[in-house]
Amino acid sequence: MKPKLILGILAIVLFTSLLMYNFGNSISTYVNFEQAENRATSHVVGTWDDSRDYGFSRDTMQFSFYMKDEDGNVRRVVYPRPKPNNFEQATQLVVVGEMRNSVFHANEMLMKCPSKYNDGSELLNAQES
Amino acid sequence: MIATAGHLLLSGAFLTSLIVMGLYAASALKDNLSVERIANRMWYLKGVLLLLSSAALVYIIMTHQFQYYYVWNYTSLDLETKYLFSAFYGGQEGSFMLWILISCLVGVGLIKWTRKPYKAPVMFVMALTQFFLLSMIVGWDLSFAKIGASPFRTIAQEMPNAPFIQANPDFVPVDGTGLNDLLKSPWMMIHPPIIFVGFSMMTVPFAFAIASLWTKTYHEWIRPALPWTLAANLSLLTAIFLGGYWAYETLSFGGYWAWDPVENASLVPWLIGTAGIHAMIVQRKSSRAHKASLFLSIMAYVAIVYQTFLTRSGVLADQSVHSFVDLGLYGQLLMYILVMTFMGLGFYLYRYRDLPSPQKESKFLSREFMTFTGSMLLLILGIIIIVGTSSPIIGRFFVENPTPPEIQFYNDWSMPIAIIMAFATVVGQYLFWQKHTWESLAGVMITPLLLTSTATVVSIVLGEVSNIYYMIYIFAGWFTVIGNSTMLISLIRKNPKLIGGTLTHIGFGVLLLGIIASSAYTGPLLDQRTASYNARVAAGEVYDEEGFPVTQPREMFSLDLNRPTLVNNEYMVTYEGYELSDSPRPGQQTYRLRFESIDNGRVFYMYPEVYPMLTTSSRTNIEWSVDPHVQTGWMSDYYLYVAGSKYVEQKNEELEEQNRNQDPLVSLQEEADERQTIEIGQGESIEAGPFSFTFMNFTPALEEELPDSTQIGIRSLVRITHTPSGNAFDVEPLFAVYTEDEVSYTYSPPLEIERWGMTVSFTRIFPESDTIELTVDGLDMEFEEDWVLIVAEEKPFVSVVWLGTFLLMGGFTISIFRHWAREKNTEEKE
Nearest CA-CA distance, residue A103 and chain B, Å? 10
Nearest CA-CA distance, residue A74 and chain B, Å? 19
- Closest-CA residue of B relative to A62 is B554
Lowest mean pLDDT segment, chosen from B50-54, B65-69, B300-304, B691-695: B691-695
Residue B286 φ/ψ, nearest 5 degrees: -140, 20
Residue of B552, B626, B645 to mutate when probing chain A, most A C-beta within 10 A: B552
Nearest CA-CA distance, residue B628 and chain A, Å? 11
Cα R_g (chain A), whole angstroms: 21
Q: What proportion of chain B, given as a percentage, has pLDDT over 90?
A: 43
Whether B402 and A29 lie within 8 Å, measured CB to CB = yes
Measured between alpha carbons, how far is B36 from B51 in angstroms, rounded to an integer?
A: 23
Give pLDDT, residue B391.
87
Mean pLDDT of B617-628: 77
Write out B443-495 in H/E/C secondary structure. Answer: HHHHHHHHHHHHHHHHHHHHHCCCCHHHHHHHHHHHHHHHHHHHHHHHHHHHC
Nearest CA-CA distance, residue B247 and chain A, Å? 13
In which band, very low, low, confident or very high, does the pLDDT at A127 lie, cut at 50, 70 and 90?
very low
Nearest CA-CA distance, residue A4 and chain B, Å? 11
Q: Is the predicted pLDDT of residue B322 greater than 60, yes or no?
A: no
Predicted TM-score (pTM) above 0.80: yes
Give pLDDT, residue B323.
46
Q: Is the predicted pLDDT of residue B451 greater than 70, yes or no?
A: yes
- Closest-CA residue of B relative to A29 is B402
Q: Which member of B180, B251, B318 has the closest CB to residue A45? A: B318
Give pLDDT, residue B317.
60
Q: Is the predicted pLDDT of residue B782 greater than 60, yes or no?
A: no
Predicted complex: ipTM over 0.85: no
- Closest-CA residue of A relative to B388 is A23
Q: What is the pLDDT of residues B669-703, one digit of tens each?
A: 444 446 778 888 888 888 777 788 888 888 888 77
Collapsing DSSP states into helix, strand and coil, what is residue B221?
coil
Closest to B811 (Cα-Cα) out of B284, B104, B233: B233
Measured between alpha carbons, how far is B682 from B679 in angstroms, rounded to an integer?
A: 10
Bin B433: left if φ > 0, else alpha if -120 < ψ < 50, else beta: alpha
Q: Which member of A29, A117, A118 has the closest CB to residue B401? A: A29
By the CB < 8 Å criterion, does A78 face chain B? no
Chain A residues close to B315, C-beta within 8 Å: none
Whether B412 and A112 lie within 8 Å, measured CB to CB = no
Give pLDDT, residue B618.
67
Q: What is the pLDDT of residues B9-44, one digit of tens each?
A: 999 999 999 999 999 999 999 988 899 999 999 999
Nearest CA-CA distance, residue B404 and chain A, Å? 6
Higher pLDDT, A64 or B702: A64
By the CB < 8 Å criterion, does A94 face chain B? yes
Give pLDDT, residue A81.
86
Give pLDDT, residue B671.
40
Measured between alpha carbons, how far is B587 from B210 in angstroms, rounded to an integer?
A: 56
Mean pLDDT of A53-64: 85
Mean pLDDT of B133-149: 86
Positive or negative, the Cα torsion across B63, B65, B68, B72?
positive
Nearest CA-CA distance, residue B416 and chain A, Å? 13
All structural domains of chain A: 29-112 (2.40.50.140)
Q: Is the predicted pLDDT of residue A117 greater than 50, yes or no?
A: no
Q: What is the pLDDT of residues B804-814, one digit of tens each?
A: 999 999 999 99
Who's near B758: CB < 8 A, 6+ residues apart? B720, B752, B776, B777, B778, B779
Mean pLDDT of B325-329: 65
Nearest CA-CA distance, residue A77 and chain B, Å? 14
In which band, very low, low, confident or very high, does the pLDDT at A116 lie, cut at 50, 70 and 90?
very low
Whether B391 and A80 lie within 8 Å, measured CB to CB = no
Closest to B811 (Cα-Cα) out of B406, B484, B426: B484
In which band, very low, low, confident or very high, does the pLDDT at B148 lie, cut at 50, 70 and 90?
confident
* Strands, E assignment, chain A: 30-31, 42-48, 55-57, 62-69, 74-79, 93-100, 103-111
Q: Which member of B387, B548, B623 has the closest CB to residue A23? A: B387
Find the angle CA(B763)-CA(B766)-CA(B768) to the nearest 5 degrees: 165
Lowest mean pLDDT segment, chosen from B124-133, B418-427, B498-507, B711-720: B711-720
The domain limits of chain B are 1-153+168-173, 185-404, 528-631+636-656+786-794, 675-777
Mean pLDDT of B605-623: 79
Give pLDDT, residue B807.
96
Q: Is the predicted pLDDT of residue B607 greater than 90, yes or no?
A: yes
Q: Is the predicted pLDDT of residue B452 greater than 90, yes or no?
A: yes
- Closest-CA residue of A relative to B648 is A56
Whether B387 and A19 lie within 8 Å, measured CB to CB = yes
Measured between alpha carbons, how far is B447 from B470 in angstroms, rounded to an integer?
A: 23
Mean pLDDT of chain B: 86
Measured between alpha carbons, how far is B760 from B776 in angstroms, rounded to an integer?
A: 5
Q: What is the pLDDT of residues A68-79, one digit of tens each?
A: 988 889 999 999
By the CB < 8 Å criterion, does A101 face chain B? yes
Measured between alpha carbons, how far is B455 from B509 in angstroms, rounded to an integer?
A: 13
Measured between alpha carbons, how far is B488 from B540 in angstroms, rounded to an integer?
A: 53
- For residue B232, what are the CA distances in angstroms to B47, B236, B409, B501? 21, 6, 28, 16
- For residue B39, what are the CA distances in angstroms to B32, B34, B106, B115, B196? 11, 9, 15, 15, 24
Whether A105 and B552 lie within 8 Å, measured CB to CB = yes
Residue of A17, A96, A109, A116 to mutate when probing chain B, most B C-beta within 10 A: A116
Amino acid letter, B440: S
Give pLDDT, residue B667.
40
Residues B157/B14, Cβ–Cβ less than 8 Å = no
Q: Is the predicted pLDDT of residue B47 greater than 60, yes or no?
A: yes
Measured between alpha carbons, how far is A15 from A12 in angstroms, rounded to an integer?
A: 5
Q: Is the predicted pLDDT of residue B783 greater than 90, yes or no?
A: no
Whether B613 and A89 lie within 8 Å, measured CB to CB = yes
Whether B403 and A114 lie within 8 Å, measured CB to CB = no
Give pLDDT, residue B520.
83
Measured between alpha carbons, how far is B244 from B258 in angstroms, rounded to an integer?
A: 9
Amino acid letter, B787: W
By the CB < 8 Å criterion, does A114 face chain B? yes
Mean pLDDT of B736-743: 81
- Other C-beta atoms closer than 10 Å to the C-beta of B652 total 15
Whether B616 and A24 lie within 8 Å, measured CB to CB = no
Whether B182 and A126 lie within 8 Å, measured CB to CB = no
Instruction: Tell me the CA end-to-end span of chain A in Å, nearest whole number.
Output: 76
Give pLDDT, residue B483.
94
Whether A23 and B391 lie within 8 Å, measured CB to CB = yes
Q: What is the pLDDT of residues A32-48, one digit of tens each?
A: 898 888 888 888 988 89
Give pLDDT, residue A113.
57
Higher pLDDT, B253 or B498: B498
Chain A residues close to B73, C-beta within 8 Å: 118
- Closest-CA residue of B relative to A106 is B552
Lowest mean pLDDT segment, chosen from B186-200, B240-254, B349-363, B497-511: B240-254
Q: What is the pLDDT of residues B631-664, one digit of tens each?
A: 888 888 999 999 888 888 888 887 877 777 665 5
Chain A residues close to B263, C-beta within 8 Å: none
Chain B residues close to A96, C-beta within 8 Å: 403
Higher pLDDT, B182 or B480: B480
Chain B residues close to A8, C-beta within 8 Å: none
Across the A:B interface, residue pairs with CB atoms under 8 Å apart total 146
Residues B74/B179, Cβ–Cβ less than 8 Å = yes
Q: Which member of A22, A30, A123 has the closest CB to residue B403? A: A30
Measured between alpha carbons, how far is B462 from B305 in angstroms, rounded to an integer?
A: 45
* Residues present in chain B in total: 830
Give pLDDT, residue B131.
95
Residues B596/B571, Cβ–Cβ less than 8 Å = yes
Q: What is the pLDDT of residues B759-780, one digit of tens each?
A: 888 888 887 778 888 888 776 5
Residue B146 φ/ψ, nearest 5 degrees: -105, 135
Chain A residues close to B403, C-beta within 8 Å: 27-30, 43, 96
Chain B residues close to A59, C-beta within 8 Å: none
- Closest-CA residue of B relative to A117 is B325
Who's near B241: CB < 8 A, 6+ residues apart? B802, B805, B809
Whether B644 and A87 lie within 8 Å, measured CB to CB = no
In which band, very low, low, confident or very high, does the pLDDT at B305 lie, cut at 50, 70 and 90?
very high
